Amino acid sequence: MRLTHFILQRIFIILGFSILFYSCQNSEKKEGIYIVTTTGHIADLVRNVVGDKATVVPLMGAGVDPHLYKASLRDLKQLQSADLIFYNGLHLEGKMGEVFHKLSRMKKVFAVSDGIPKDSLLMVDAENHIPDPHIWFDVQIWLYCLDKVCKEMILADPENKEYYLKNTAKYRRELNGLNSLIKSGFQTIPRNERLLVTAHDAFGYFGRRYDVEVIGLQGISTLSEYGLNEITTLSRMLISRKVKAVFIETSVSEKAIQSVIEGCKQQGHLVKIGGSLYSDALGAANTPEGTYIGMQKVNLKLITEGLK
């Protein structure tokens, strides 16, 4: 009995050391500044500021829904070995709030949304002060997040201050160009027909900035349910305004949107799917829609062509 106990004890000690050694190897310090972000939008924003001074890794790839995302063991290791972490905040990463809260006690963890003046936020529930987290859809609001990243990078790495300021100014010019492009793009569509129907309510900021009426079938988070009433009301609205297209999203199930198309069809009105919009996730890396500016341009083309 004693011998078995002794052998078991040895096995546990050896196992313990192996696990410790393995974790040390995996959390090995990477060369240069190592930054981890949640979404691809934020990774792209940070990359435009840091250039070649840091490695930037997003946890969520193409087609991933941040509302439902849970950190894997691999993600936790990456977060632990990061020098800086940037996330969206405003409860976009619904299931990761606790992780960031704990990590913020030991390292630099920033919500890019902290750079936005409170009165610029769109409220989905004003009474309970619940803001819409889809801030990247208003390019002018995204500029506040750009400044927030630049400010934190200068504090973290003051030696490269001029470099970060120069990169930020360059990207600001590009974003201002994008903002004008989206604005002028929508002016080609008559106001009454500027109705953007999507799978979930991600385009609120987009609608406010670019003067487009926006309806998401599911709520602000993909967690919320949609019902028959919403589908009936929406079908009637599409019919009365002769809207030609509705849109699906790359990171959300298209089931709800298909119900609306079916609802219209039963009443003799044909509505097509105008395309799959990039909402809460960028496209694949190394494609035009794999960058923030690229995904905005693809969306703009799909929406304006679909509604015409």
Q: How far is the CB of 149 from Zn ion (least distance, A)?
A: 21
Q: With respect to Zn ion, which residue has the nearer C-beta, 175 or 202?
A: 202
Q: How far is the CB of 208 from Zn ion (least distance, A)?
A: 16
Q: With respect to Zn ion, which residue has the nearer C-beta, 202 or 282?
A: 202
Give the footprint of Zn ion on residues 171-210 (CB under 5 A). Answer: 202
Q: How far is the CB of 275 from Zn ion (least distance, A)?
A: 18
Q: How far is the CB of 210 from Zn ion (least distance, A)?
A: 18
Q: With respect to Zn ion, which residue has the nearer C-beta, 202 or 217?
A: 202
Residues touching Zn ion, count (CB under 5 A): 2
Among residues 44, 138, 152, 280, the one that binds Zn ion under rule CB under 5 A: 280
Q: With respect to Zn ion, which residue has the nearer C-beta, 202 or 215?
A: 202
Distance CA 169, CA 143 (A): 10
Q: How far is the CB of 134 from Zn ion (least distance, A)?
A: 6
Pairing status of strand 272-277 against strand 245-249? parallel
**Is 93 among the residues that bind Zn ion (CB under 5 A)?**
no
Binding piece for Zn ion, criterion CB under 5 A, among 33-41, 83-91, 274-282, 296-304: 274-282
Q: How far is the CB of 277 from Zn ion (least distance, A)?
A: 12
Q: How far is the CB of 13 from Zn ion (least distance, A)?
A: 48
Q: How far is the CB of 164 from Zn ion (least distance, A)?
A: 29
Q: With respect to Zn ion, which residue has the nearer C-beta, 60 or 202?
A: 202
Binding piece for Zn ion, criterion CB under 5 A, among 6-14, 21-29, 264-272, 276-284: 276-284
Q: With respect to Zn ion, which residue has the nearer C-beta, 60 or 109?
A: 60
CB 14 within 8 A of CB 34: no
Q: With respect to Zn ion, which residue has the nearer C-beta, 157 or 280?
A: 280
Per residue, what are the HEC states of the chain?
A: CHHHHHHHHHHHHHHHHHHHHHHHHHCCCCCCEEEEECCHHHHHHHHHHHHHHEEEEECCCCCCCCCCCCCCHHHHHHHHHCCEEEECCCCCCCCCHHHHHHHCCCCEEEEHHHHCCHHHCCEEECCCCEECCCHHHCHHHHHHHHHHHHHHHHHHCHHHHHHHHHHHHHHHHHHHHHHHHHHHHHCCCCHHHCEEEEEECCCHHHHHHHCCEEEEEECCCCCCCCCHHHHHHHHHHHHHCCCCEEEEECCCCCHHHHHHHHHHHHCCCCCEEEEEECCCCCCCCCCHHHCHHHHHHHHHHHHHHHHC
Q: With respect to Zn ion, which residue has the nearer C-beta, 46 or 202?
A: 202
Q: What does each C-alpha distance from 270 to 190, 209, 257, 295 come to in angstroms? A: 20, 29, 13, 27
Residues that bind Zn ion (CB under 5 A): 202, 280
